[in-house]
Structures are given as C-alpha cells and as structure tokens.
Chains A and B, each alone.
Chain A
Amino acid sequence: MPFALLKHGLTRHRSVPDVFPEPGELKDSYDIVIVGGGGHGLATAYYLAVDHGITDVAVLERGYIGGGNTGRNTAIIRSNYLTPEGVKFYDESIRLYKDLSNDFDMNILYSERGHYTLAHTDSAIRTMRWRAEVNKHFGIESELVMRDDLMKMVPQLDYSEDVRYPILGALYHAPGAIARHDAVAWGYGAGAARRGVHIHQNTEVTGFEITGANGHAGRVTAVKTSRGTIRAGKVLQAVAGMSGHVAAMAGFRLPLKTVPLQACVSQPLKPFLDAIVVSGSLHVYVSQSSRGELVMGGSTDPYGVYMTRSTLDFKEGLMMHLLEMLPFISEVKLLRQWAGMTDMTPDFAPIMGETPVDNYYIDAGWGTWGFKATPVCGKENARMLATGEVGDLIQPFALQRYHDFNLVGEKGAASVGH
C-alpha cells in the first residue's frame, strides 16, 4: 500500500475509477429531466431505471455529485418521528437503507447504533412517551427509558444534577443508524449511470419554457441550461436550499426559507461512543463515525443566508452544550466544520408531488431531515414520474396542503426549535 501510494504520487496519470461515465453533450430531449444531482435526484434516477425501466433520464447538477447537502448532513438515519405520516414514511426509508449496500454492491457503511433523544424536563418526558406510543403503534422499536436504565445504556454521559439541564430520561430508538453519506450519492449515481441515465455535472439550470396562461396550470416543455436547451417530457426539481429560486423560474412560490445548518467533526478518537445522542433542549446531536471522529451538529442558524459559512456563535453554543453532556472531551480539537443550506418549511415536513405546473414535480422542504429520506424519496418520486400517481406515503406532503390549511406539524424533526 505505501509503495503503491508513492508510485501514484510520482506518476502524472493516476488511475481514478470512473464512477460516473461522462455522458458528453446534452441530448436534444429527455423523457424526464431531474434538476439537482443530490441524493434525492440520483435516487429518483436510479429507481426510474431499476423499478420502471425508464432510462431516457437526465440529471442536471450545477456543481458536482455529493457536493451539496447529501455530503453535508450528519448522516443520521431514524424513523422515530411524531406524526403518523412521518413515521410511516421514514420507516420505509430505513427498510430500503438496510439493503442498499447489497443493491449497490458498494459498502455504504450502514451502522445501527441505537438513537437516544434525551429528555431534560417533565414536558419533554411527556413528549417522548407520546412519540414512543405513536412509533410502537406503527411497529417501530421505540421506548421511553428513564435515567437509571439510561445510565447503564449510555454510561458516557454526565448524569449529575448540578448542570443546566439534568438528564431525566430518553426516547430510545434501537434501529437508529449512521451511514457514509457520500457513498449513498455515489451508489445511486453509479447505479443509474450504469443503466443509461445521463448525469450532467457542471450544468446549471437557468430557466424553463412553460406554455399556458401566466405560468399557472401550464406545462413545461423545455429546460434551459448553461450548456443549451433540452426538451423535457417531465421535470422534477430536487434542489434543497435553492428550491425557492428554481420554483420561481417555473413560475410559483413556495413556503420555504433557506437557512444554513452548520456541523463539525472532532479529531479522530478511539471508539468510545456507540450510541447516537441527541438533545433538543441543548440543541446538540453527536455520534462517533467509523473513523473515530465525533460528528456534531446543533440547531439551524438564527436567520437565513444563501451561504455555507461557519460562525463562531455556532461553535461556541454547540461546544458549551456538548461539554455539559460529555465534559471529558474538553481538550479534544475540532477538525473540520461546514454548513449546508436547508430549505425549511413552517411545519417541518417536506413538500413532495405535484405543483401548479402540470408535468413539473417537486421534492423540497427537506430542512434538516433530508438524508434519512433519500431512498424512500427516490422510490416514490420514480413511481410518480413513471405512472403519474402520487403514492399514499407522500400524499400528505403535497404543496396543496398549505392552500387547504392542512399542515403536518412534524415536531419530531431535529435541530429546530419547536
């Protein structure tokens, strides 16, 4: 290994495996154009090819594959949400995740760790009990554990009572897992490309050609890009933080605010924390990756910007709270920090399905909960694009719900104040 490394270091041409074969020029027309080459867009392309045999598909990505929020989340996968709609949806996603390494023939390092959402107040205990009961009703492993049991299950935490938020108990979700997020994007992308889907990186969408009155109830006929115009049978937008911008090009507005969510990792440490630990009151979530780094995140930024900068406020706040839970890591250094632009909805649930433009579909509003939904989104989007039917699992997340005052109210979402 070291000699091979040395050899490649000294030669000019290195043999990098070609995961995404370059499709070359854009074709004049595609049956389906997917705007956004993140996890959701690539998964949709993958299931269009695998489940429905549709391969006349282009995925258009402004940057590079996995460079957006798919590679910027903290890779936590769980289904212990609060609303029945959310629980059923995310549970299907977990079911798909478990088979992904086999499906891709590529290890996504899916690792079941057990997920603990800490409760520091009586009202939080009440909410955890409520969530556990909703979860169990849908057959999901989810339990309220009180402090004495929790001390045996996650002995790493500080259980003293002379802290700002003493730990009273936790919602324990055994299937809670982490995975290598880049591998998820690469697996879906490579699988789709191998079956004939065109993945065009460095291709920015600049507009749409839409027929019909004032863009209302019109039809999209073509997608304008930085590399030319493509005729399209159907279009799906899956662009996270840029959702409002792309929807505006298609002629409609969304109930979204783009807000950065920051995260960071520590230097690698010997394995000591098996569990994924989350605290809503302390605005902290932490897990230890298979590389030994502590992967840490907090709450979304207090106001919206279209930037992925990191702030001192975020790090100060996060570390102060993290040290209350894990005081012994005070000498550990921070290794990397970054941010992603999240698209937050007012009810913390996604927006999926039909839009005011006939053959234009949307996958947005993924705020802080998008990565864990990647497989189920791909599956359901593919079904919708292939058959025109909006599946039962995503029906509750229609954009129309705001017009009907029928919001979802997903208070099980992470890193947001409720």
Chain B
Amino acid sequence: MKIMPCPLNGPRNISEFACGGEVEHLPPPDCDHAAWIDYVYLENNTAGVVREWWYHTPTAYWFVAERDTRTDEILRTWPAGEFLAEFGEGR
C-alpha cells in the first residue's frame, strides 16, 4: 500500500487522493494566445522531482506534495497556505 503523508489527515492510503498536476503559474488574464496554450495543454512531464497539487477526496482538502517521478517517492508535503507563503503565488 502506498502511503501519502497528508498535512491534514496524516498518513493515508494513496487511493484516497487525486493528483492535480504540477504547480504552475496561472498566466495573467490579458496574456497572449501562446501563454494560454502553454498553461492549458503543455506539460513539463518531468522525470525527476516535481511539486504537485494533491487532493484528499474524503475531506475535500488540497495541498502540495514534492515527489520524485522516477522512484515514486513522496519527499515532502505542505498545506497549501504554507506552500504559497513560502514560494509565492507560483512555484
């Protein structure tokens, strides 16, 4: 069983969670076409350490996890507020 250390609920089975994709900058509303395409469709698809949004479905709780996509190891998690305070609105 793969365990996700949830900042709110503690260690839980990963089947209770959904991955929300890599943390990205939301482009400003007046951005150009290419920036919007970039944000909506294009992926880094990183083979390595990524920071992603994760969602604990039973408690409807969003947070950020740092994970290595080559080894499937979860390295660190933050409550969304702490992550944004540390890294600002984006990464």
Q: Please report A residues at the B interface, Cβ cutoff 8 Å.
A: 244-245, 253-258, 302-307, 309, 311-313, 346, 402-403
Which A residues are CB-close (under 8 A) to B33?
A: 403
Contacts A256-B43, A346-B41 known; A305 to B1 CB distance under 8 Å? no
A245 to B48, CA, bound (A): 11
Q: A311-B2, A313-B2 are in contact. Are A306 and B41 (CB under 8 A)?
A: no
Number of interface residues of B (CB under 8 A): 20
How many A-B Cβ pairs are below 8 Å? Answer: 54
Interface string of B32-52 (1 = CB under 8 A from A): 011001100111110100000
Residues of B within 8 A of A403 (CB): 33-34, 37
Contact between chains at A253 and B44 (CB < 8 Å): yes
Residue B72 lies at the interface, judged by CB distance under 8 Å to chain A: yes
Interface: B70 (CB within 8 A): yes
Name 8 interchain pairs, CB-CB below 8 A, sorted by A: A254-B45, A256-B45, A257-B45, A258-B45, A302-B15, A402-B41, A403-B33, A403-B34
Q: When each residue 7-47 of chain B gets 1 if its CB lies under 8 Å from chain A and 0 otherwise, what string results?
A: 00000001100110000000000000110011001111101
Q: Does B43 lie within 8 Å of A244, measured CB to CB?
A: yes
A-chain residues with CB within 8 Å of residue B42 when the two chains form the complex: 253-255, 402
Across-interface contacts of A258 in B (CB, < 8 A) = 45, 47, 69
**Most B CB within 10 A of own CB, among A257, A303, A307, A403:** A303
Cα A254 to Cα B43 with chains together (Å): 6
Whether the Cβ atoms of A306 and B69 lie closer than 8 Å is yes
Which of A305, A309, A312 has the most C-beta atoms of chain B within 10 angstroms of its own C-beta? Answer: A305
A302 touches B18 (CB 8 A): yes
**For the complex, what is the distance from the CA of A245 to the CA of B47, rounded to whole Å?**
8
Q: Which residues of A contact B44 (CB under 8 A)?
A: 244, 253
- B59 contacts chain A at the CB level, 8 A cutoff: no
Q: Contacts A305-B72, A307-B70, A311-B2: A257 and B43 contacting too (C-beta < 8 A)? A: yes
A244 to B45, CA, bound (A): 6
Measured CB to CB, the residues of B under 8 A from A are 1-2, 14-15, 18-19, 33-34, 37-38, 41-45, 47, 69-72
Dominant SS at the A interface? loop
A405 to B13, CA, bound (A): 37
Tell me which of A254, A302, A305, A312 contacts B70 (CB under 8 A): A305
B41/A307 in contact, CB under 8 A: no
Say how far B39's CB is from chain A's closest CB, in angstroms: 11
Q: Which B residue's beta carbon lies closest to that of A347?
A: B41
